Amino acid sequence: MLRSTNKTYRVTWFWLAFALLLPQGLWAGEKPNIVFILCDDLGYGDVQCLNPQHGKIPTPGADQLAKQGMTFTDAHSGSSVCTPTRYGLLTGRYSWRTKLQKGVVTGFAPCLIDEDRPTVANFLKDHGYQTAIIGKWHLNFQYCDPQTGQPYLAKQFKSPPVGTKIPDGPQARGFDYFHGFHHARDMQTVIENDTVIAHDPPINMLPRLTRKSVEYIDQHANDEKPFFLYIPLGSPHTPILPTKAWQGRSGLGDYGDFVMETDNAVVQVTQALDRNGLTDNTLVVFTSDNGCSKAAGIPQLAKQGHIVSAHLRGSKADIWDGGHRVPFMVRWPGKVEAGSSSDQLICLTDWFATVADMMDAKVPPGTCEDSVSFLPAIAGKPITSTRAGVVHHSVSGHFAYRQGPWKLALARGSGGWSSPNEKQAGKDAPKAQLYHMVEDIGEQQNRYLIEASVAERLLQQLQADIDRGRSTDGPKSQNDVSNIDLWKSEKN
């Protein structure tokens, strides 16, 4: 009897000790430094380790992150173009719930993120973080006369004058520090915090952002407060401008060279973390805002053996997966298994809920309508989701809905720039496309006409996610516009 009692005590104490080693959630309450690197127009196949057969551009920085952390093979940007993805990343909400139903913004206008909407940045500030963005904003802000405070118009200046003030930029949306630019066509206008500080040729921007990111890490390495450093690079988006030191390195022309120089920014940032002893206490995320652009010269790269979207169909702007399935690596030594991978479906809108989960905190009321934490996935566990599926969106506003292996695209063609586009597909083509993304990841066999019940189920779920103003559980929310058109091609 005594022996049995002792055995019971031993078992009890074992599980009690084990339980004490675990946080209430997966690493709940941990406050590592966070570095989030968002490339611009980097295709899934542009990262060599994701495209071993047809990836001809060396990317040692991204490849090393994959070796040291986890690679998500079914990660998607919120849209197949720039602005909507950035909105979703920072707010946890699809951008098509705003007035931006297609395309991108061009600056010289009030910020797309409402002043009273919480962002990842001000959420982390509330939880003791220093927050910084070094790179491309592309969510609109106003350029104002420093004397009168009146907004300038885009037609007044090619580049707003040095000294111009920005009242509704990143600092007004939760970031303590900003160094960068608005978007590619205004890249020569260099901004720090809320002021235009210089005009600099665009070829200097990538080296500038790399240098400033490294400087930020060096300067804050010994601070008591952790930092969130968001690095939305402006490359390899156009203008495709590798610096002299990188020209000719890839053997694939300017685009290949620019991808290599972009990857070198990853190398420099991770080396700065290593040098400062921050690697073990820093969560690093590396991804892209959408697929590779046609401006890269996709056919010529293919002739040279480099396939920018790897095994996926389409590229930037498209509703096919080449438009929005993106590289996604997470490194957090001791927390994320080195060299691991996950095929769980995630979206960049999920970043906000993941950060909240990591802080063991609830997301702020009235936000994160489309955000689900993928924190369990990086521990090798299933994601617990109240969301039925993920919504995709093309440059022209065409919708697709992904649930499990099925993907319904409400477009006759690419919904973007690849052939056949909507006009080329013609009225005789089926009004929608349905693909089984496990059996047919290249989206070649349209099953829309033969799997009508599946298509109808996905369509109804998409409509419900739109009508409720959210795709996750919670109180009904309001979209910013009253009429969101599902069938864009029907009006063409």
Q: What is the pLDDT of residues 130-149, one digit of tens each?
A: 999 999 999 999 999 999 99
228 touches 130 (CB < 8 A): yes
Going 217 to 220 to 226 to 229, the CA torsion angle's sign is: negative
Q: What is the pLDDT of residues 162-198, one digit of tens each?
A: 999 999 999 999 999 999 999 999 999 999 999 999 9
Q: What is the pLDDT of residue 28?
A: 67
Sheet with 406-409, edge to edge strand ranges:
390-393, 399-403, 406-409, 433-436
User: How far is Cα 136 from Cα 283, in angstroms, rounded to an integer?
Assistant: 21
Q: In the prediction, which pLDDT does 29 show? A: 72
Is the model's pLDDT at 6 over the cut of 60? no
pTM beyond 0.75: the answer is: yes
Q: What is the mean pLDDT of residues 8-28?
A: 43
Residues in Cβ contact with 477 at an 8 Å cutoff, skipping those fewer than 6 apart = 366, 369, 468, 469, 470
The two most distant CA atoms of the chain are separated, in Å, by 91
Q: Which of 317, 325, 294 is nearest to 415 (CA)?
A: 317
Query: Using alpha carbons only, how large is the chain's radius of gyration in Å?
Result: 23
Helices (H), 98-227: 120-126, 205-220
Supply the DSSP string of 326-340, one letter for each residue. --EEEE-TTTS-TTE
Alpha-carbon span 35 to 263, nearest angstrom: 15
pLDDT at 492: 53
The pLDDT assigned to 30 comes to 78
Residue 309 is encoded by which pair of tokens? 């979207």
Q: What is the average pLDDT value for the chain, to the nearest integer?
A: 94
Q: Within 10 Å of residue 171's Cβ, how many Cβ atoms?
A: 18
Q: What is the pLDDT of residue 25?
A: 56
* 34-67 pLDDT per residue, tens: 999 999 999 999 999 999 999 999 999 999 999 9
- Give the span between the Cα atoms of 50 and 66, in whole angstroms: 9
Give pLDDT, residue 287. 98
User: Is 94 in contact with 306 (CB distance < 8 Å)?
Assistant: no
Residue 26 has a pLDDT of 61
Domains of the chain from N-terminus onward: 33-379 (3.40.720.10), 390-468 (3.30.1120.10)
109 has pLDDT over 80: yes
Helix or strand run (H / E) with residue 12: helix 2-21
pLDDT in tens, 150-161: 999 999 988 999
pLDDT, tens digit, 9 for 90 and up, residues 260-271: 999 999 999 999
What is residue 471's predicted lDDT score, i.e. its pLDDT? Answer: 98
Handedness of CA 414, 415, 421, 425 (dihedral sign): positive
Whether the Cβ atoms of residue 400 and residue 461 lie closer than 8 Å to each other: no
